[in-house]
Structure 1
Amino acid sequence: MIVGLKGKYFHAYFSETKMKLGFLLGCLGLFTFSRCSASERCDDWGVDTMKLIQVYDGEPARIKCPLFQDLLKHNYSTAHSAGLTLMWYWTGQGKDLEEPVNIRLPNNRITKDKETLWFRPAVLNDSGNYTCMLRNTTFCSRVAFPLEVLQKDANSCVSQAMKPEVVEFPLEHVVVLKCPDTDDFYPVNVTPAVSWYMNCNPGEFYERIPKGLNLTFIKVRPFYEGNYTCIVTYEDNGKLYNLTRTSEVKVIGPPEDEKPPSMTAPSDQVIYEFAAGEEMQLPCEVFFPFVKNSRMDVSWAVDGRNPEDSVDSKVSVTTSEVLQLGGAKTIKKNLIIKQITMEDLKRNYTCSARNSLGPVYRQAVVKEKAGTPRYITELACGLGATLFLVVCLIIVYHVYWLEMVLFYRAHFGTDETIGDGKEYDVYVSYARNAEEEEFVLVTLRGVLENDFGYKLCIFDRDSLPGGIITDETLRFITKSRRLLVVISPNYVLKGTQALLELKAGLENMASQGNIRIILVQYKAIKNTERVKELKLAQSVLSVIKWKGDKSKKPNSRFWKELHVAMPVKKISPATKYSNTCIELNTTQMSF
């Protein structure tokens, strides 16, 4: 009996316990379901490509979660106090799988500090999309943004793929360029070393003073535009790190020069005349001074309507822009109407321009073109014929001017050698080597003495033995009407006496003006910087070029140019072939 009661009691107790356990499990399942459902709902802001972060391989870098900067109203401390947890994930470049950021790497290369993820340093494999997620049991929000780790270009301090920060400096002002984004990278008690570069070129900066993280511009000038790079070097925990930062400096107009636009065309003083059937082109040219954060608008209006909105195919508008100093700009807009009618000539054509400081308007004065009078046509024909004749005469003179000058000299020229006290017509200066001696003694001497009848003085041929070279050279030059210099590479390399002759001739020509220098290029010289006298002579005198076999003919341009440069001299047949510097003694060397 007792056993039966105990069995019934145990069965009832077991049933009640089973019901309570089921209720508890149900409540736990419901709570877990609601919790999971709440956690599965997450505000995903996607990938914010505008937040692209670029860093250099091997340099420290940091990325801050944008949730606290742009998307949420609370800062990290407030969110943490509310029980929210910040977690970081990343998707490697070229991969699809998102995985947690590994902050347990050796040497603590990647660490977390509040809402900031630090890389000391970043490496190429760190490139990818980084996601920061803020969540608790009832709230979840996430956003992703890309990180790009770049290598510097070869032989450069930067990478062309890195987008520098743009800063605008007003012209003629004193400004300070700060090395950007270096705060909190190194300990407070550490003073880093900073090197400044302009377009990756080191060196002194004229009117720009580098001092630590600041580069002071004493006066901003237009040619100071460019990319300025600061490389910050510091030590942290026994390791040396570099931070490379680049700013693109643009020079803009100063604030005191900010003005409304000014219009140079159309002008009130200009009347645009067209005939029916012609193409009408009306220019609108506007100068805009630089005004910070201002639009620059230019537009045409035909009877108050914008022609760019017209569907008429014969109406079109062309636009061109010309950038000017300090961010100023000139905008040109041409209104073009094909095959205009009389009605088109009666319309109102107005150009307007505007910036943030005000507008300017100008109307183009258009009228019908009057017929051309008969006398204007006759005058135009006469002027055209005269112009044609003048052009023909200029062409004839340009082609045959040497022959014309030589003809005039031969028949009407005055003999320069009469009463000037000179003994020689030309003194020849040249490099003393076998090739150029043959050119001078055979070619030049043969034509100038035998054909033209000039009296040449050649030092090695005509000087008496035993004299002082310097004194003899100066004496010959002062007694000559021309100094003929044969230019060649050997003249520069081996022409010690020849350079003395050139210098003496230049000084004589500059101080007394009683000798003229003739430059004959026997062979081209690639570099005349080594001889300042020769460089000076070539800069102020014309050069007659010897062109080898082409110049050997007696009627070639070379001999005509050389003959024109020689003194005007009446040559008698009896003395044509007997002129030399002095009579050769039998003791002199025979060439």
Structure 2
Amino acid sequence: MKHKPVYNGEPAKIRCPLFEAFLKYNYSTAHSAGLTLIWYWIGQGRDLEEPINFRLPDNHISKEKDTLWFRPALLNDTGNYTCMLRNATYCSKVAFPLEVVNKDPGSCVSQAVKPDTVMRYLEHTNVKLTCPDVDGFLPAGTKPKVQWLRNCVSVEGFHERYPNGLVLTFGVVRETFKGDYTCVVTYKENGQDFVLTRTLRIKVVAPPEKGTPPQIFSPDDRVVYEQPAGSELVLPCRVYFPYLKGLPPEVSWLVDGRNTDDIVDLKINISQNEIYDAVENLNYEKILIVPKATEEDLKRNYTCYARNPLGEEYRQAIVKLQVPVPRYTVELACGLGATVFLVVMLTVVYHVYWLEMVLFYRAHFGTDETILDGKEFDIYVSYARNAEEEEFVLLTLRGVLENEFGYKLCIFDRDSLPGGSEYLK
């Protein structure tokens, strides 16, 4: 039988499990039947079982009815203890270990002593925490001195936590109140001072009034799993479970309405992941993997199923077979797209640079059509008789059209004879 380790120098007691487990006798009926309770022990590192001698003058171990007392327990008390119930015709015994440990250096507890975990609901008010496992240790009428610690720091003056003897009251349970709460109980017995150290681990959880049925986030109606045959099909089922005390939440994949454990004609791998938030709400993920999904596999019905004590929910994954696109269709589409792009680019270039293109062609590949047209001038220039326009015509326009492009201009002041009329032929 397993027992928690006890602290060196603190009282401890062990009740013989024969009267708890087998129920053939209680201590009174066993004594009436002539049965004797005998205690043995095997010390740590020893092989020989020895009876416990309770008559030694300085012995700190005593027996009271069916209970073995250590006042206090010491490190060398570590070992296996056996209680035997026997008479001339009957014998029954059971052995169990006792481990005595020191507290960790600089700490009020030892990591070897694992505390029990208790839940407290978030934002509940006037919640009480009672120092555990002290019943039977305190003599009748004794009022012990109690110090409460959180993670080995005194709670005196802590916000919304009020110690009162063996009871610690939470005014309002906050998320930050989680942790290990230790009560150190000091009392007197027969003129001797004793100390008991007890620890509870507080978890702050979501209150039951906020509980809901599970909520499935994936698969989703907006997500389609479309892929070709022979590829790996990966379907995640993501579910949110608010904290609820009682039956654990359940998540499973159904294939064509059947549990995956019942599917024999489909190779399936399942993996799962659990993430708890600060108040023990659960985000659960169960992933279904079909390594090489055939065309028939991609036509199956895949449904995520989730349940908790408040309800259940189903969500189907939309799986489709991806039809491969023919190669020639891809090539044709690429060629047509390139052609359309080229035509558009050439049209834009022509509209922007059409004049430059015409002049470039004329200068390099064409013939000068003005040579044989029988005309003396190509362009007649008329302008206002002021200095600004005259300067533009004679210096700028004439230089560009005549010198660069080869046109013959008829300019009034330059090419007209006085008193005569000139006509372009």
Equivalents in 1 of 2:210, 2:94: separation in Å? 44
Please give the per-residue CA displacement for 1:29-87, whole angstroms capped at 9, x wherever unaligned: xxxxxxxxxxxxxxxxxxx2xx3242100111111111112222432122222222211
Equivalents in 1 of 2:140, 2:105: separation in Å? 33
- Greater helix share, 1 or 2? 1
Equivalents in 2 of 1:118, 1:297: separation in Å? 46
SS in 2 for 1:69: helix
Equivalents in 1 of 2:219, 2:69: separation in Å? 60
Please give the per-residue CA displacement for 1:152-198, whole angstroms capped at 9, x wherever unaligned: 01000111001212212122223211111112223222211111111
Aligned to 1:267: 220
For the pair shown, the structure with the greater C-alpha radius of gyration is 2
Please give the per-residue CA displacement for 1:424-457, whole angstroms capped at 9, x wherever unaligned: xxxxxxxxxxxxxxxxxxxxxxxxxxxxxxxxxx
Equivalents in 2 of 1:276, 1:351: separation in Å? 22
Q: Is 2:306 aligned against 1:360?
A: no
Equivalents in 2 of 1:171, 1:55: separation in Å? 32
SS in 2 for 1:327: coil
Equivalents in 1 of 2:253, 2:294: separation in Å? 19
Matched ranges for 1:80-95 at <5 A: 80-95=31-46
- TM-score, reference length from structure 1: 0.52
Which moves more between the two structures, 329-338 or 227-236?
329-338
2:130 to 165, 178, 184: 178
Aligned to 1:119: 70
Aligned to 1:221: 174
Equivalents in 1 of 2:140, 2:130: separation in Å? 18
Which moves more between the two structures, 145-154 or 69-78?
69-78
Give the conservation status (yes or no) of the 8 Å contact 1:233–1:240.
yes
- TM-score, reference length from structure 2: 0.72
Give the conservation status (yes or no) of the 8 Å contact 1:104–1:110.
no
Give the conservation status (yes or no) of the 8 Å contact 2:77–2:100.
yes
Equivalents in 1 of 2:109, 2:161: separation in Å? 21
Equivalents in 2 of 1:185, 1:346: separation in Å? 69
Equivalents in 1 of 2:5, 2:161: separation in Å? 28
Give the conservation status (yes or no) of the 8 Å contact 2:4–2:114.
no
Give the conservation status (yes or no) of the 8 Å contact 1:53–1:146.
no
Equivalents in 2 of 1:162, 1:67: separation in Å? 25
Aligned to 1:62: 13
Aligned to 2:30: 79
Q: Is 2:57 aligned against 1:106?
A: yes
Q: Is 2:172 aligned against 1:202?
A: no
Aligned to 1:255: 208
Q: Could you tell me how far 1:370 is from its partner in structure 2? A: 6.3
Equivalents in 2 of 1:94, 1:313: separation in Å? 56
Q: How many residues align?
A: 330
Q: Is 2:144 aligned against 1:192?
A: yes
Identity of aligned residues (%): 56
Give the conservation status (yes or no) of the 8 Å contact 1:129–1:146.
yes
The 3 A distance-change label for structure 1 pair 274 and 186 is same
2:284 to 325, 331, 347: 331
Q: Is 2:91 aligned against 1:140?
A: yes
Equivalents in 2 of 1:107, 1:189: separation in Å? 27
- Greater strand share, 1 or 2? 2
Please give the per-residue CA displacement for 1:439-488, whole angstroms capped at 9, x wherever unaligned: xxxxxxxxxxxxxxxxxxxxxxxxxxxxxxxxxxxxxxxxxxxxxxxxxx
Equivalents in 1 of 2:62, 2:291: separation in Å? 70
Give the conservation status (yes or no) of the 8 Å contact 1:308–1:317.
no
Equivalents in 1 of 2:246, 2:118: separation in Å? 13
Gaps of 5+ in 2: 342-425
Gaps of 5+ in 1: 1-47, 383-591
Equivalents in 2 of 1:152, 1:111: separation in Å? 24
Q: Could you tell me how far 1:371 is from its partner in structure 2? A: 6.8
Report the RMSD for the aligned CA atoms in angstroms.
Answer: 2.6
